[in-house]
A and B are shown apart, each in its own frame.
Chain A
Amino acid sequence: MNDRMSLFPYILAGLRNKPGRNIATAFCFAFIAASIFSGQYLLAGAAGGIGQGISRMGADHLVVPVDYMALMGGRGPDNTIPIVRAEPSVFRFNRSIMDTIGRARGVSGMSPQLYVTTMYVPALAPTPIDVYGIDPDTDFTILPWLEHPPEHPLASGEVFVGHGIKGEVSSSINLNRHHYTIAGRLDPTQSGADTTVFLSLGDAYDLAATEGTLPASAPRILPGSVNAVLVRMGPEAEPDVVEADIRRLVPPSSAAVIGRHFSLDPVSRDIQDLSGVVSAISAIVVLAAFPLIALISAMVAHERQREIGLLSAMGGKRRVILFLVLSESLVLAAAGGIAGIGGGLLTIALLDAPGFLGNAVPVTFIMPSAMETLVLAGFAMSAVVLIAVVSSLYPAFRISRMSPYDAIRSGG
């Protein structure tokens, strides 16, 4: 036990003196913290969802051999689902075409894909599976669909498997006498990717060269040949402009361009608008809180004039009085802030449990990580502490400057 009185017990004693009023004040701080924290947390969750959604949209354009388009009657596939994987076909071109595509305006990324074969492996799936080669260094369509981010890029001897393929991560699979380790599993895509095994391009060429992989009648797969080049646009690029430029650059006799027919941009814009609305609401809550908390602080300071005057008479310096009044406000803000953040988290968890959030937000709601949550909590706490300091500064300053004689005689 301290031999002398320390500041904290005195502050707590002061707070216990008017429990109703102080609980109400702490509740104000809790409400502010909960509003700020929950708003930002939901936004971060929605932004995470839209971010994942956008990253999983795959390619913006698919450049394929012109023969493939001719086979499709010039229409190409009904491309209203994310372009994650090229269509299986035996039409190929050399991946050197990427040098030409890369010169098109607005192209920010490219990745080749090779359809190897379709085989029936009962141990892996009850239906035939597709085998694809991807370039692990440039891939941007398969990686976002993995259940868990990979620890390292896909290496030789490793595969990613679609959601419909059997086998756990780190287990082995056998494709035509070649053994591979599953390095990652994809979330459901509701597309052919669900029953696809993805190898590195080098492994794909090796597997293709192995007797029995391709049907005897199928054309050989030469090293360097690919079925499609998946193209990603830069953020400001216009799809039509990019498509036209690729068409202009690649020889029309060798390749064709398939564009995507849908976009998540409107949803993304909605989320950004929502972000503005939530930030505005947070700002209004903060602005409304200032006078409210300032009024409470002024009331408290007035109510405690005599006590403060007595402290001052007993030798309390102005800065000590100022510190005391501010500290009480800070303790209330801290208690309210912690309660508000905790309450906000609990409310979100309760809403999230039955899937309410998922239904309310037009994208998958992804809970922010622990670190992001800590940052958001820190932001909310900083806001309430700032409100506490700013709103109680003037009353604290005023009472600390008051003559102890006047404070004692006029205080209640």
Chain B
Amino acid sequence: MIEVLGVTKSFRGPGREVRAVDDASLHVGKGEFVLILGRSGSGKSTLLGLIAGLVRPTSGSVRIKGNDIGLLSDNSLAELRAREIGFVFQFSGLLPTLPALENVLVPTLLCRGGPGTRSRAREILARVGLTEREDAYPATLSSGEMKRVAIARALINGPSLLIADEPTGDLDVDTEYEIMDLFRQLNLEGMTIVMVTHNPDLACFATRLYVMDRGKLGLEPGPFPAKDREPGNAAAGAPDDE
């Protein structure tokens, strides 16, 4: 599903060039749950941005479902993101003046031909356990509920890939595990997930683990508990469905 080959991303810092990602290569197969672990400032969010097509590489190539994002126009890249990728960030980014259901529907503004509808939004809210909270405004939701709404919003257009950037970074341990359980269930249903975190305790949820340190990406050898899970989950290295 995702091929990252020798990717480098440099930023111009004061007086010097900073390599946030240095010659990273990565493979994400369909149905995998890939976790990228690293400390703050290690470059893991930049790598995630490269994988999601939010940022273009300085060198190397990133392929999403066969599309080399370096060759796509900005509009084509935006369409690819709208159709294929759902995003969950550490901040929920919910509009405080819209109830949960309407917040879930926001991406339908941007993907007119997609599957996102009001009834589907209700189904997804039910899927993330918020059936009773669809009319609730963000101010009345707990942190965990807001995160669930954000996850539902990421799923509304029926993406095949879920990108999560420190999605549990601001949650207490119990809520963090609730959210990770939700990710695991989604993964078990076939959703490909790539997530970055600084919390090594979450490694148990991954089918494949990468570690990022000062821009360098390394594959952590297994085994991982999640790799040998129930059907629905493709094992690491499963063939892509490009």
Q: Does B224 interact with chain A (Cβ within 8 Å)?
A: no
Interface window among B27-35, B89-97, B215-223: B89-97
Q: Does A227 interact with chain B (Cβ within 8 Å)?
A: no
Given contacts A17-B96, A314-B87, A404-B54, contact A320 B110 (CB under 8 A): yes
Q: How far is the CB of A319 from chain B (nearest CB, A)?
A: 8
Contacts of A313 in B (CB 8 A): 52, 54, 81, 87
Q: Are A403 and B55 in contact (CB under 8 A)?
A: yes
Contact with B along A202-236 (1 / 0, CB 8 A): 00000000000000000000000000000000000
Contacts of B52 in A (CB 8 A): 313
A306–B89 Cα gap in the complex (Å)? 11
Q: Are A311 and B45 in contact (CB under 8 A)?
A: no
Interface window among B101-109, B124-132, B181-189, B196-204: B101-109
Q: Does B140 interact with chain A (Cβ within 8 Å)?
A: no
Q: Does A187 interact with chain B (Cβ within 8 Å)?
A: no
Question: Which one of B49, B74, B109 lies within 8 Å of A405 (CB-CB)?
Answer: B49
Q: How far is the CB of A158 from chain B (nearest CB, A)?
A: 67
Q: How far is the CB of B63 from chain A (nearest CB, A)?
A: 18
Contacts of B98 in A (CB 8 A): 9-10, 13
Contacts of B81 in A (CB 8 A): 313-315
**Size range of the chain A interface in the assembly:** 20 to 34
Q: How far is the CB of B134 from chain A (nearest CB, A)?
A: 13
Contacts of B40 in A (CB 8 A): none
Using a CB-CB cutoff of 8 Å, which residues 75-120 of chain B contact chain A?
Answer: 75, 78-83, 87, 89, 91, 93, 95-98, 102, 105-112, 116-119
What residue in chain A is nearest B98 (Cβ atoms)? A13
Q: Are A314 and B95 in contact (CB under 8 A)?
A: no
Q: Does A318 interact with chain B (Cβ within 8 Å)?
A: yes
Q: Does A4 interact with chain B (Cβ within 8 Å)?
A: yes
Using a CB-CB cutoff of 8 Å, which residues 259-280 of chain A contact chain B?
Answer: none
Q: How far is the CB of B112 from chain A (nearest CB, A)?
A: 7
Q: Does A307 interact with chain B (Cβ within 8 Å)?
A: yes
Question: Which one of B46, B49, B116 lies within 8 Å of A4 (CB-CB)?
Answer: B116
Q: Does A312 interact with chain B (Cβ within 8 Å)?
A: yes
Contact with B along A310-347 (1 / 0, CB 8 A): 11111111101000000000000000000000000000
What residue in chain B is nearest A401 (Cβ atoms)? B74
Contacts of A409 in B (CB 8 A): 45
Contacts of A9 in B (CB 8 A): 98, 102
**Size range of the chain B interface in the assembly:** 35 or more
Contacts of B111 in A (CB 8 A): 315
Given contacts A4-B105, A14-B95, contact A314 B89 (CB under 8 A): no
Contacts of B74 in A (CB 8 A): 317-318
A312–B157 Cα gap in the complex (Å)? 15
Contacts of A13 in B (CB 8 A): 95, 97-98, 102
A17–B98 Cα gap in the complex (Å)? 9
Q: Are A317 and B78 in contact (CB under 8 A)?
A: yes
Q: Are B97 and A16 in contact (CB under 8 A)?
A: yes
Q: Are B49 and A316 in contact (CB under 8 A)?
A: no
Q: How far is the CB of A17 from chain B (nearest CB, A)?
A: 5
Question: Which one of A3, A316, A317 lies within 8 Å of B118 (CB-CB)?
Answer: A3
Q: Are B54 and A403 in contact (CB under 8 A)?
A: yes
What residue in chain B is nearest A406 (Cβ atoms)? B55
Contacts of B46 in A (CB 8 A): 405
Contacts of A408 in B (CB 8 A): 54, 89
Q: Does A5 interact with chain B (Cβ within 8 Å)?
A: yes
Q: Are A315 and B83 in contact (CB under 8 A)?
A: yes
Taking each of A3, A318, A320, which has the highest tally of chain B beta carbons within 10 Å of its own beta carbon? A3
Contacts of B108 in A (CB 8 A): 4-5
Q: How far is the CB of B132 from chain A (nearest CB, A)?
A: 20
Q: Does A7 interact with chain B (Cβ within 8 Å)?
A: yes
Q: How far is the CB of B97 from chain A (nearest CB, A)?
A: 4
Q: How far is the CB of A115 from chain B (nearest CB, A)?
A: 78
What residue in chain A is nearest B45 (Cβ atoms)? A409
Taking each of B52, B78, B108, B119, which has the highest tally of chain A beta carbons within 10 Å of its own beta carbon? B78
Q: Does A71 interact with chain B (Cβ within 8 Å)?
A: no
What residue in chain B is nearest A403 (Cβ atoms)? B55
Taking each of B46, B82, B83, B107, which has the highest tally of chain A beta carbons within 10 Å of its own beta carbon? B107
Given contacts A16-B97, A405-B49, contact A10 B54 (CB under 8 A): no
Q: Does A284 interact with chain B (Cβ within 8 Å)?
A: no
Q: How far is the CB of B125 from chain A (nearest CB, A)?
A: 14
A16–B138 Cα gap in the complex (Å)? 14
Q: Are A405 and B110 in contact (CB under 8 A)?
A: no
A47–B119 Cα gap in the complex (Å)? 61
Contact with B along A370-385 (1 / 0, CB 8 A): 0000000000000000
A2–B101 Cα gap in the complex (Å)? 13
Q: Are B109 and A10 in contact (CB under 8 A)?
A: yes
User: Contact residues of B with A, CB < 8 Å?
Assistant: 45-46, 49, 52, 54-55, 74-75, 78-83, 87, 89, 91, 93, 95-98, 102, 105-112, 116-119, 157
The 5 closest A-B pairs by CB, nearest first: A315-B82, A16-B97, A405-B54, A405-B55, A5-B105
